[in-house]
Amino acid sequence: MTTDLIMHGSAGTRVAAELRDAILAGTYPPGTRIRQEDVAGRHGASRVPAREALRLLESEGLVKVVANTGAWVTSLNLAECEEIYQIRERLEPLLLRLNVPLLTPEQIDGLDALAHEMERSDDVETFLRLDREFHLSCYTEAATTMLHDTVLRLWNRTQPYRRAYTTVFRSAGDRSAHHEHHLIVSALRRGDADEAERVLASHIRRTRLELARHPEIFDAPAPQPTRADAR
């Protein structure tokens, strides 16, 4: 029994990682239904690991599981997204502050390289991947009880809307995000936690305000169930 539990746990973690990557990459848009049996079939697992994977992703804010019904990729309306961004404006700079004295010169060099790579890229998905890596890499060193996990959950819930925002700001030729990334790196090099906090709060606030200017992003209809979903 113990061996079976370990095997199921390992399989559930693997399935969750693969499904997480697919959701963050936009393969499953907000509101998409994800059926447990489909997850098991696609990922070569039984229904127990598939169920565990969906529960794990629910704890991360990526899906919503409804008992005896199924799971759906988390979707937000404009008011919900604004609230999450306002929470991020206050919590995320604090998490960055806690990490400022702990980041090594080599880690900061890595962040600088990511900032330059983002600036050179013309691809939205590449930017999103590097941007996520940049910001989350700033938060790896400070030991927190719940702050880091809370910030990660908020990031996950807003990922699809960051994709929409990124498409808008790139099409408009807006370079401000790149400028702010470089300002954050400079503040980290100086060990200036106040400046790093200030720039990051402004960085998050600007995204929130820009999303509010494009309510159509939140009006997209949820995907309709397929015949398989309706069973």
CB atoms within 10 A of CB 41: 12
Residue 156 has phi, psi (to 5 degrees) of -60, -40
Q: Using CA atoms, how far apart are residues 203 and 192, in angstroms rounded to an integer?
A: 17
> Would you state the pLDDT for residue 149?
93
2-75, CATH topology level: Arc Repressor Mutant, subunit A (1.10.10)
Angle at the Cα of 61 (from 55 to 66), degrees rounded to 5? 50
Q: Which residue has the tokens 């700001």?
A: 169
Q: Which residue has the tokens 């098991």?
A: 40
> Is 78-216 assigned to CATH 1.20.120.530?
yes
Helices (H), the chain: 2-24, 36-42, 47-59, 78-99, 105-120, 124-137, 147-171, 176-190, 193-212, 227-230
Domain pair 2-75 / 78-216, same fold: no
pLDDT 10s digits, 14-59: 999 999 999 988 899 999 999 888 888 888 888 888 889 999 999 8
Whether 1 shows a pLDDT value over 70: the answer reads no
Q: Using CA atoms, how far apart are residues 163 and 35, in angstroms rounded to an integer?
A: 24
Whether 166 shows a pLDDT value over 90: the answer reads no
Alpha carbon of residue 37 to chain centroid: 25
Determine which of 99-103, 152-156, 194-198 has the lowest per-residue pLDDT on average. 152-156
Determine which of 3-7, 149-153, 210-214 has the lowest per-residue pLDDT on average. 3-7
> Would you state the pLDDT for residue 184?
98
Domain residue ranges in the chain = 2-75, 78-216
